[in-house]
Each structure stands twice: as C-alpha cells, then as structure tokens.
Amino acid sequence: MSLLEISGLESFYGASQALFGVNLRVAEGEVVALMGRNGMGKTTTIGSVIGLVRPRNGAIRLSGKDVAGMQPHRIARLGVGLVPEGRRCFPNLTVHENLVAAARPGVWTLARINELFPRLEERRDQYANTLSGGEQQMLAVSRALMTNPKLLILDEATEGLAPVIRQDIWAAIRRLKAEGQSILVVDKTLSELLPVADRCFVLEKGRTVFSGRPNELTADLQDRYLGV
C-alpha cells in the first residue's frame, strides 16, 4: 500500500479550475519529486493534500484512508508534515517556541533536531523573524519534523537561498532519506533534485503528464515540460 496516493485530483479556486487530473504516488520510504513550471499546479496539489485547498473530484489516500476534504489539522495529525513555500515560520515566536508548539511524540525530538541543524540550537531564544532566510528554512523543516510526520512535504525548500545553505538543506534531505523518511519534494534545481529522487511526477496545466524514474526523464522531456 502506498503512503500517499492521489488519483484524478481536480481542485478549484472559486470558479477557476487549477487541477484537471493529478495522479501521484509516494511509497513508504521513497523520495518523490513533483516537478513542473510555474503555475502548473504543484503548490495547489500540495495544498489539496494537506487540506488547505478543498479538492472537488478525485481521491487522496493517506495510508489507504481517504483524506480529501478533511480539515487541515486532522490531515496533519494523520502524519503529513508540510514545509510551506516561503518558509512561513511563526515570526514572533522564538525558535524554541516554534518547535515545541508543533511537537508530537516520535523519533524526532528537540535533541535530534539540534543535531541535524546545530545552527538552530545557537538561535534557540531568537525570534524567527530575526533569523536569516537559510535559518528560517532550517526552522521550517525542523518544525515539520517535530510533528513526526510519516510523509514530509517540502515546497520549494531551497528557493532563494545562498548556495552554501542550499547544500546544507540538501544534505539534510539526503540524511532524512537514508533514515527512511518518505518525502515529497517540489524543487526547480534538477541537478540536485534528480539524484535524490526515487520517482518523478511532472505536472503541466494541472495534469500529471509524466511519471517514472529520474533516469527516464530524458533531456528531451526536461526541455519539453520543465525548460524555460
């Protein structure tokens, strides 16, 4: 059984349709890349999974349970940890408060987070809005991990970060993968994303147009669906 299985998903913003049939599957322990140009529905797909966008048609199954249309906090409690686009930490809570507010019991504890991102331990009592972009991203990832999710979703987690910080984030993702964490990643840097991914899905105009192994995503296909 897949951890996450999306089939025929259609979502709307008011009257305008954003998704026209998205299919996607994340198996236990897999890292799955969700790709596509801007405006093709990646964030909407993620929003539908976590319940922030209400899907109109299709199915979203989490460990076999249909979660389409459930309230976001219930879906999160079933084991989805979201690292939203643009980081979105709680700006006026300290690093420590951001982490403990989200915490649910499991293998991820404060001690392990501090080991993963030692930088955060140094910033423990600083407000999130005083952190650098990279540190905020580390905090956003950590906050999601503190909920001990079965599935971690990273939406553009390395966007707009300095190269050296991006390396830190990718290193953390590789480490999470090595530990067997299931991850759904949205990212535009193919050179870093493809080596980590076990499987890729490409969206175009709200539809899944490609799914397969990273090595099946030929230069031709990349140019057609992802090139600018």
Partner 1 sequence: MRDGQAMSRETLINILLAAALLALPFVAIAMEEPFYITLATRMAILALAAVGLNIALGLGGLISFGHAAFFGIGGYVAGIFASHAFNMEPMFSAPFEFSGSDQMPVIWLAAMLVSVFVAIPIGAISLRTSGVYFIMITLAFAQMIYYFAISWPAYGGEDGLSIITRNGFPGVNTANPLSFFLLCYGVLAVALLMFWLIQNSRFGAALQAGRQNEQRLAAVGIAPFRIRLVAFAISAAITGLAGALFADLNRFVSPSMLSWHMSGELIVLIILGGTARLFGPVAGAVLFVLFEFALGGITEHWQFFLGLILLGVVLFARGGLIGLVAGKARHG
Catalog residues that contact partner 1 under the rule CB under 8 A.
Answer: 50-52, 71-74, 76-77, 81-82, 84, 88, 90-94, 97-98, 100-104, 125-127, 130, 143-144, 147
CB of residue 56 vs partner 1: minimum separation in angstroms? 20
Measured at the CA of 225, the angle between CA 88 and CA 15, to 5 degrees, comes to 60
CB of residue 93 vs partner 1: minimum separation in angstroms? 6
Closer CB to partner 1, 87 or 199, in the complex: 87
Closer CB to partner 1, 147 or 208, in the complex: 147
| CB-count exposure of residue 63 (10 Å: 0-12, 13-18, 19+) | middle
Measured at the CA of 49, the angle between CA 143 and CA 155, to 5 degrees, comes to 50
Return phi, psi of residue 188, to 5°. Answer: -100, -10
Closer CB to partner 1, 154 or 200, in the complex: 154
CB of residue 123 vs partner 1: minimum separation in angstroms? 11
CB of residue 28 vs partner 1: minimum separation in angstroms? 20
| Three-class SS state of 76 | helix
Closer CB to partner 1, 112 or 224, in the complex: 112
